[in-house]
Structure 1
Amino acid sequence: MKRRPSNFIFFQMVCVSVIWGGTFIAGRVIQPEIPPLLSATVRFLFASISLVLVIILGRLGWKRINKRQLWQIMLLGASGVFIYQILFFYGLQIIPASRAALLVAINPAMIAFISFLLWQEKVSLKKGAGITLCVVGAIILLSDKAPSSDVFMVSKGDLAILGCVVSWGIYTVTGKNVIKEIGALHTVTYAVLFGTLLLIVTSLCLDITLDTVSLFSLKDLVSLGYLGILGSAIAYVWYYQGVSQLGAAGAGAFIALNPLSAVIVGTLFLNEQISTVIFIGGILIVFGILIANKK
């Protein structure tokens, strides 16, 4: 596979972060009456159709995979699509988009931690300091008071988004070998197709009916189209291209930009208020990520 110029990869990864920052807003505006599982299923139906069309119309062919690659792709589909998306939509029904985006910003630290566990990648003093800052920032962020309460608490929404962080860390680290072998596009396509299958089967088992599907408004479908086509099909492929060339930690560092776009858009379009606690926690997380991934 031809190596892209570094400047283009950096620009591409910034675009991914901006797109993903917008996904928190798009997910937040979907009606709370719509089950998170159904939202995730429709999102990835959009993504699956888009990716399959790219391969067919681009005449790129379907690459054969061996048993080891199949198991890895199934893990990617389960972690990066099935588990992540259900937790993502559930969390956004409970907490503001800006808060969710700041929590997801600790992903690079989680990626570094999982890389150490799975591949024994050593953590330098600088990276360790950065990860510590991320953790402190997350603790401060989680200490923010609920809007209608004087009690400091961690909500189910916070826990769901933190579950997203773990799922995405697994998705990033375990996909490195497959990307090198069959390429980012085919890796993402196969993983998305498997994850979508899991979502569909689970939806059918939980008796999601046509009455439930009829709850979707045009705004909901537009949001899910954005989430599926831009936020999943395009951004997932670009992200894995970044992982291929910059490494898991290098590509993961760009997730630090997600909160910036999410907070700006959330403030402008959803009238979400940014408290001092969220601001301080977010600043620590972003600085921690930059320090952890500085060469």
Structure 2
Amino acid sequence: MQLNPRFGPHLRLIGMAVLWGASWPAGRIIAQSMPPLAGASLRFLLAALVLIPWLYWAGGLQQLKNWSAQRWLGMAAAGATGVLGYAAFFLSGLQHLPAGKAALVITLNPVMTLLMAAWIFKERLNTIIATGMALAIAGAVVVLSHGQPATLLQGGMGVGELLILGCVVCWVLYTLIGRWMLTGVDALSTTTVTSTIGACMLLAASLVVEGPSAMASAVHSGTTAWIALLFLAFGATALAYAWYFDGVKALGAGAASGYITLVPLFGVLISAYLLGETIDIPMLLGGAMAITGTAIMHWGRARH
């Protein structure tokens, strides 16, 4: 029986959410086996090997020579925040924090991005969006505090949690920079150029901070770590973005971005399955609150 072609974009977007969810346990494996900056630079250098030919095939390389200095500056800023900063915090945080818990903390990404957009770009928020935000933040607090929110006021947050919150800050900056300086640039060009610039920044940072031996250590990591790295580079980066772009083209950016709500859910489930991580009551309760809140936010924006 042939599948209805209308379901194709939806299935690919679910696949995207699975791949992005699986990036958390993959990152945890890499973080336990490789120096974080070296591992992150290898991830994006490998991804660039796919993204650059893809951009060339799509006819996008020719337009780069017509970009203004401001656009290139925006790309460099986006690469510094969305790739260098995010990837460094991502793998460094996963050295200290279980992958499933880290995936739930990232539910703060859309909340903080929307709050900053409302402040800087004067985006209007309705009651539905505000309700979703409050629920998502409350859920993240439950996860971060192990079900004891009062401990956060007493400095009860660990190094891993703080590093993953660094991911949130970097993602918010990356999104706002994109909106401010990269208007009119297609998603594939932005992804390819910022990934390539960020990969070079990560490599330089690894050589300065970790030393040349770190790259040698990463290259000679075990088979499991390299399988996880290749998955991050080609599965969670190149293939997932291809499916996401297809979904945006077929369904629109709003509908496609709604599927990102599923990413932390898959992150928790896949981490539990592959790494044997425990899903405790605070994670279950806080995760349900955060994911539901994010879904309500998307619904509120669609009705806006």
CA deviation map 1:56-94 (0-9, x unaligned) = 455553322112211221121111100000000011111
- In 2, Cα distance between equivalents of 1:19 and 1:28: 14
- Counterpart for residue 169 of structure 2: 166
* Structure 2, unaligned runs of 5 or more: 149-153
Are the counterparts in 1 of residues 146 and 283 from structure 2 also a CA contact under 8 Å? yes
CA deviation map 1:244-273 (0-9, x unaligned) = 8745x7655433211221121111111111
- Counterpart for residue 151 of structure 2: none
Q: Does 1:284 align with 2:289?
A: yes
Aligned partner of residue 30 in structure 1, secondary structure: helix
Q: Does 1:24 align with 2:27?
A: no
Q: Does 1:184 align with 2:181?
A: no
Let me know the Cα RMSD of the aligned residues. 2.8
Q: Which moved more, 1:137-146 or 1:190-199?
A: 137-146
- Counterpart for residue 35 of structure 1: 35
CA deviation map 1:196-255 (0-9, x unaligned) = 1111111222323264235411211111111111212333455567678745x7655433
Q: CA deviation at 1:171?
A: 2.1
> Structure 1 residues 170, 214: closer, same or farther in 2, change over 3 A?
closer
Q: CA deviation at 1:193?
A: 1.1
- Counterpart for residue 198 of structure 2: 195
How many pairs are equivalent? 286
Identity of aligned residues (%): 29
Q: CA deviation at 1:291?
A: 1.3
Write out aligned runs for 1:2-21 (5 A): 10-21=10-21
> Structure 1 residues 132, 212: closer, same or farther in 2, change over 3 A?
same
Aligned partner of residue 171 in structure 2, secondary structure: helix
**Residue from 121, 124, 130 that aligns with 2:123:** 121
Q: Which moved more, 1:153-162 or 1:276-285?
A: 153-162
> Structure 1 residues 137, 251: closer, same or farther in 2, change over 3 A?
same
Q: CA deviation at 1:53?
A: 2.4
- In 2, Cα distance between equivalents of 1:235 and 1:178: 25
Q: TM-score, length-normalised on structure 2?
A: 0.84
* Structure 1, unaligned runs of 5 or more: none
CA deviation map 1:34-68 (0-9, x unaligned) = 21111111111111111112234555533221122
- In 2, Cα distance between equivalents of 1:130 and 1:93: 31
**Residue from 212, 228, 231 that aligns with 1:226:** 231
- In 2, Cα distance between equivalents of 1:53 and 1:261: 30
Are the counterparts in 2 of residues 28 and 92 from structure 1 also a CA contact under 8 Å? yes
- In 2, Cα distance between equivalents of 1:154 and 1:67: 41
CA deviation map 1:122-149 (0-9, x unaligned) = 1111111110111111111111179xxx
Q: Which has the higher helix share?
A: 2
